[in-house]
Amino acid sequence: MTLSYAVLILLDAAIMFWIFSSIVETRRTLRIRKNLVKLAMYNHFSYALIFAILATVGFVIWDVKAHFFPSGNCLTVSVCVSLFT
């Protein structure tokens, strides 16, 4: 199960790197051609993607903390075991 998580994390990181490298190249081309309207749109799109990545990382951290490190709010051990398996 841990190996599958590692593969998914690597795949997700590779896709994010591919998207951002393409956006950087497109922004560079738009800046050279002085196409300021499209450049502004790509800047806003870049900021939205950065926010989405930060939200995803925050959710993953919260999810790992909530499911793998229980805070002791369980009523009994059997309830905790059934919740986290």
Reported as a single tens digit per residue, the pLDDT across 35-61 is 999 999 999 998 998 898 889 888 878
pLDDT at 65 exceeding the cut of 90: no
Question: Can you give the pLDDT at residue 68?
Answer: 73
Domain of 77 in residue numbering reads as 2-83
Greatest alpha-carbon pair distance for the chain in Å reads 65
Q: How many domains does the chain divide into?
A: 1
Q: Are 84 and 70 in contact (CB under 8 A)?
A: yes
What is the distance between the alpha carbons of residues 4 and 14, in angstroms, rounded to a whole number?
Answer: 15
What tokens appear for 27 in the block?
A: 């922004």
pTM equals: 0.62
